[in-house]
Amino acid sequence: MFRVNTRGAFLCCREAANRLPRGGGGRIIAVTSSMVAQRKPGFAAYVGSKAAVEAMVTVLAKELAGTGITANCNEAEVARVAAECPMGRIGRPHDIANVVGFLASASGEWVNGQVVRVNGGVA
């Protein structure tokens, strides 16, 4: 689980940080899970792997200071927690895409090192 979730995110973030032009701006957005905030029993490996991604991205944001590149996480819900969602449904692709689109746009340039929860209020 850590090999895919954590190492995979690390390799992607590292490559993106190396390819984005310094001073020219850019966005790195990692996807994690609302399970991190819930910390449900039985999901230790999954939650740990996603929490590691969140920690890594917040540190990356600081390491990229002054480059114009921002790094954030989008913490989305998973279908398993849909029954607990105050909105009464699981998120739709456009629910998450709208937030990712904002983070990736020029309007999102002041958002940096954050975990944005797009989960209908689950956690």
Q: Which residues contact 84 (CB under 8 A, 6 or more apart)?
A: 122
Distance CA 85, CA 112 (A): 27
Asked about 70 being catalytic, the answer comes back as no
Beta strands in 43-121 (DSSP E): 69-76, 115-118
Enumerate the β-bridge partners of residue 119. Answer: none
Residue 53 CA from chain centroid, whole number: 8
- Out of 46, 82, 85, 95, the active site residue is 46
Q: CA-CA-CA-CA torsion for 50, 51, 53, 59, nearest 10 degrees?
A: 170
Active centre residues (catalytic): 46
